[in-house]
Amino acid sequence: MSFDVNVRERILRPVDEVFDAVVDPAKLSEYFISSASGPIEEGRRITWSFDDVGTKVEIDVISVKTGKEIVYESSALGHKLRTTITFEPDGADATVVTIKDSSFEMTEDGVKRALGQNAGWTYTLCGLKAYVQFGINLRSGLNKRLTDV
């Protein structure tokens, strides 16, 4: 038996603006990653760097439907995980973004990984919203330790 993780957020910006903030590596680095080897494009393998935790993640982009959906796979959690990001207009000036990770085994380890993904995607969508709506980078200062203050 397996289950999926689903996280969603309504962002007060048009779909094209929100979609662009997800596929453009310069914009993506304002709220999610430290850097990327390239933009999200169908058929590409992209490396995302997360300098704050000292790791890199490779994603294989399965499909991109401009303004509608991005699907990619990654093995960052130790098993193949498929992530689907959908963008739905909610009126002319708002977008509902849904992120779905498929799938997690109904085991103690699977539930632990799913809870981590849920927390991570919730933080990411909050960061996306802060960046796109208000120009705020919530990742600022993540590399600074409390002892450095």
Task: Give the pLDDT confidence of 72-112 residue by residue, as tens digits.
Answer: 999 887 788 999 999 999 999 999 999 999 989 999 999 99
**CA distance linking residue 69 with residue 5, whole number of Å:** 17
Q: Three-class SS of residue 13? A: coil
Across-strand partners of 82?
A: 73, 102
Residue 29 in domain: yes
For residue 114, what are the domain limits?
Answer: 2-139
> DSSP class of residue 135?
-
Residue 12 in domain: yes
pTM of the model: 0.91
Residue 70, domain CATH: 3.30.530.20
Q: Counting Cβ atoms within 10 Å, is residue 37 exposed (0-12), middle (13-18) or buried (19+)?
A: middle
Domain count, the chain: 1
Asked if 62 and 55 count as a contact pair (C-beta separation under 8 A), the reply is no
44 Cβ contact partners less than 8 Å away, ≥ 6 residues apart: 38, 60, 61
**CA distance linking residue 29 with residue 139, whole number of Å:** 9
Residue 147 in domain: no
Residue 13 has pLDDT above 60, yes or no: yes
Strand 81-89, strand 35-36: pairing: unpaired
| Per-residue pLDDT band at 142 (split at 50, 70, 90) | low
> DSSP class of residue 148?
G
At 113, which helix (H) or strand (E)?
helix 108-134
Residue 144 in domain: no
pLDDT for 77: 74
